[in-house]
Structure 1
C-alpha cells in the first residue's frame, strides 16, 4: 500500500520517486482535531485518507478557479492538472491489495477500471480506446489514460460512483480494509470530482509517457493562495490559521529530511554495489587478456611451423581451440557490454534522483526564506503595537489629570453656590438690598447653568475614561498574545537553524557522492576503452585465422537515411550506394573505391573502410 507521505515505486523502472505533501484546509481555517494529536496516537490509514482528501480539495479548487474565472481550457501542460492526476492515482490505489504469487489473481488498478463498462455502457468506448493505444504498454499507464479520457468526457464522477455502489461485491476483492474507496471519505472525493464537470480539458495521450509518469508535487502553490499567512490589519493580531500553517510546514520539513536521509542511504548502497561490480569486471578483463595472449602465442607458433602432412592434424586442433577461446571471449565481451549498459542506466537513474533531490532542497530553502520574512514582518508589527500602546497609556494619563482638575473645579463651584444661596436668604429682609439680591440671583442662575454644563462634561469624560480603560485592557491582552507568538516563532527559528545545519551536512555528503560517481564514470570509460581494444584484437585474430568468403547481405534502402561514414543525409543530389563487401549503404564520396572480392571476377564498388581492410588483408596474405 502506497502512502501519500511515502514515495511510490514505479513498477516499470523500479525507481523510488519522492513525493512530499503538505496538508492544509482550502479556506485557511484550522485543521481537524486529529492533527493536534501526537503522531503516535493517530491511525496511519486515517492520516493518509485525510491527507488525500485535503489535497484533492486544494487541487480541485485551483482547477475550478482557473477554468471558471479565466474561461480557459486546461491542457496537459497545466501544472495543477498534472498534480490532480497524481493525487487521484494515489487515492484510487490507496489500500490496493498486492498480487499473491505468480498465479494469483490480478489486482491492478486497470483491471478494476475495466469492470466499470459492465455497469456503464458509456465507459465501453474509452476502455476500447485505451486498449488500442500503441504508446501505452503497462497496466498502470492504461489506467492513467482511462482517467484522462473519463475527465475529458466529464463522466469521471459517474464512473467512480459506479465503483462505490459496487463496494460490497467488487471493491472488497481489490482493496484492503481501511482503503479510501471503502470509507466515508470516498463520498467527499466523489463530490469533488462532480464539481470538475464545469472544467473543460483538451489532453493528447499520444504525446505523454504514461508508463513512467511520476514527479515531485510542490504544494506551496496552493498554500500561499489561501488565508494561511494572513494578518488582520485592523486589530494587528496573528490569525490562528497562520500558526497552523507554520506547524504544517515544520512537519513538511521533517518529512523532507527523512526522505533525503533514505535517498542518501540508497545512493550509498548502489555505489557500493557499483564498486563491487567494477572489481569483478576488472578481474574478468584480466582473465580475458590472458586468454587472448595465449591465443596470440599459439597463432604465432602455428605461423612459424612449416606445413606438412604430420602437423595438419595438430594445426586443425589448434585452430579449433583458438576458435573456442575466441567464442568464449565474445561471450565474455557481450556479458561485459550488457553489464556496462546496466551500470550506465543505474548512473542515469542516480543522476535523475539527484536532480529531484536538488529541486526539493531548493523548495525547502525557499520556504525557509519565506518563514524568515514572516518572522521579520511579525516583529515589525509587534514594535508598532508597543508604540501604539505607549501612546494610548500617555493619553490615558492626560485624560485622568484633566478629569481630576475638572472635578476640583466643580467642587469649588458647588461651595460657592451654597454660600451665595445663604447670603440671599439673609438679604430677603432688607428692601434696600433688593437690587443687589436680584443681581446675585442672576449670578446664581448663571452659576447653576455653568454647573450643569460642567456635570455634562464630567459625564462625557467619565465615559471617555471607561472606553480608554477597556481599550487599554484589550491592548494588554494583545501584547500578551503577541509575546507568546514571538516565543513560539523564536523556537521555530532555532529549529530552522538546526535544519539549515542538517542541510549543510547533506550538501557535503552530496558533494562526496558526486565525486565518487565521477570517479566511477572515469573507471567505466577506461574499461570501455579496454573492451573496445580487446574486441578489435579479437576481430583481427578471427580474420587472421579464419577466412570464409561469403556474400554481404544488403541493408534495406528504406531504413537508412544517412551515410554510414560521414553521416550526411541522403537527398536527390546525394544518392545511396551499397558496399559489395559489407552490404551497408554509403554516399558516392565514401564508396568510390573498387576492389576484387572472392565472389566477383571484376573489381566492384566498396566503401573506404572495407577497401582499407581488404588492402591490409591482401598485403598480409602476400
Structure 2
C-alpha cells in the first residue's frame, strides 16, 4: 500500500509538471500570436484601450508576469497575494530614466494591479517594453525572490519573450491613464477565439464525403452474401473502418471541446455583464443618496444663514442700546452737570454738530436743580461760612 501511494504521488507530480510545461508553452505561443495580430491591426487603424487586440495582448502579458508569483509573508505568518507590479518595481529600478517613481506618485492609482497596468501603457508609449523586461530578467536574485520554480520568468523561454516584445516598439500608442481599464478589481481574461482555426475547405468536405461513401459501400459490400470475400480482405476493411471511426471520433471531440470553451466564454461574458449592471445600479443609488444629502445640507446651511442674520440684527440693536446707555451715563456724571451749569441759559448745546433733544434738555434741567441743591447745602456747612461766635472769640478783633 505504501509503494502504491508513493507511485500515485510520483504520477501526480509528473502530471503537474507536464501541465505546467504545457501552460508555459501555450502562454508564450498565444503571446506571439497576439503581437502578430496587434501589428496587423496597427497597419489599418490606430490602437487604443478599446481595441480588442490590445486588450488581449495586455491580458496575456499580465498572465505571463503573474505566472507562479510568490505571495508575501506577513509578520503573523500569513501569506498575502502579490501583483506583478511589486516585482517590476524592484527589478526595473536600475533602468536609466525609468518611470517607476512617476507611476508610484499617481494619485488615482491605489492598487498594485492598477499601477502595473499603468506601467504597461507608459512603457508602450515610450517604446521601451522589451528593454524593461530584459533588464528585469538579468536580476536573478530578485527573480528567485518573487517567483516559484516552474515560472515563465525563471525559464529559458523568458528570453524569447523579450525578443518577441521588440516588435511592439514599431507601433505608436496613445493611452489615457484615467479609464476603467486600469481598475485593479477587474481580472485579466484571455480571449482564445481569434487564434482558433475553423477552416474547412472543399478538399476536406470531399474527403469526408468520400469517407462516408466508403463506409456505406463497405457496409453494403459486407452485407451482401453473394460476393465472395477472403478473410484478409475482411480484416483490412475492418481495420479501415476502425481507423476512420477513430478519425471521426477525434474530430468530434475537438469540436466538442471548442464548443465547451465557447460556452464557458459566453457564461463569463454574461457574468461580467451582470456584474457591470449591478455596479452601475449601485453607483446610481450612491449618486441619488449624495444628491439627497447635499440638498439637506444646503437647506440646513440656508437656515443657519438666516439665524445668523437675525442674530446680527439683534446684536446691532444691542450695540445701539449700549451706546445710548453710555451717553446717558456720561450725562449723569457731576463734572458734566457742572459744565452744564456754567453755560448760559440762552446758549444752545451742540454735540457732534447736532442739537439737543427736548428730553435731554429736561434731563439737564433736573440735573442742574439737583446740583444747585447740593451747592446750597455745601454753603450752609460750617466749613464754608463763619459763625458770629467764632468771629467774636477770635483774638485781635476790635469792634468798631
**Shorter-normalised TM range:** 0.3 to 0.5
Give TM-score, length-normalised by structure 1.
Answer: 0.34
State the structure with more CA Rg.
Answer: 2
Give TM-score, length-normalised by structure 2.
Answer: 0.48
